[in-house]
Amino acid sequence: MADSEVTAVDVRRAAMDLLARREHSRQELQRKLARRFAVDAEVIFSVINQLTQEGLQSDQRLAEALLRYRSNRGQGPLKIKAEMREKCIESDLIEQIFDEANIDWFDLALRVLEKRYGDGSAVDASERAKRTRFLQQRGFSFDQIQTVMG
């Protein structure tokens, strides 16, 4: 579309289409809309602000859903926080969501390890290293891994 043809209504419609598929952070939405439309950044900013005020876009809701989904899939806090930062969710909000979630990451790491490898009885150094790498790739911290590995 040419610049003169694009209106705030078009931008809003596109934003609503994106949000209908899945939650997006403000920054993700802004980036996608800016790529799609050659309009003044202020128009996009205004549309996103309106969607946020109406409760249709929420970084908090996105962060809560992401934390719930990823932790239920056995991913650790480091990996989840990194994904949230990639989506440009503010650090303060990330910390708030993690504090409110009250997830026992040590227990989750143990359950993930047991699901993958069983009870974990008597393993040699090579197997221990393999399991440690597995938990690291899942996003668990050194302390969580050390505690779980014994």
91: domain CATH number is: 1.10.10
- pLDDT of amino acid 122: 65
75, exposed or middle or buried, with CB in 10 Å at 0-12, 13-18, 19+? buried
The CATH number of the domain where 135 resides is what? 1.10.10.10
90, 77: one domain: yes
Q: What pLDDT, on the 0 to 100 scale, is given for residue 4?
A: 54
Does 3 have pLDDT greater than 70? no
Residue 128 pLDDT greater than 60, yes or no: yes
Whole-angstrom distance, CA of residue 106 vs CA of residue 43: 46
- Does residue 97 have a pLDDT over 90? yes
Mean pLDDT of 31-36: 94
Alpha helix locations (H) across the chain?
A: 8-21, 26-36, 41-53, 59-72, 77-86, 91-101, 105-117, 125-138, 142-149
Asked if 130 and 111 sit in the same domain, the reply is: yes
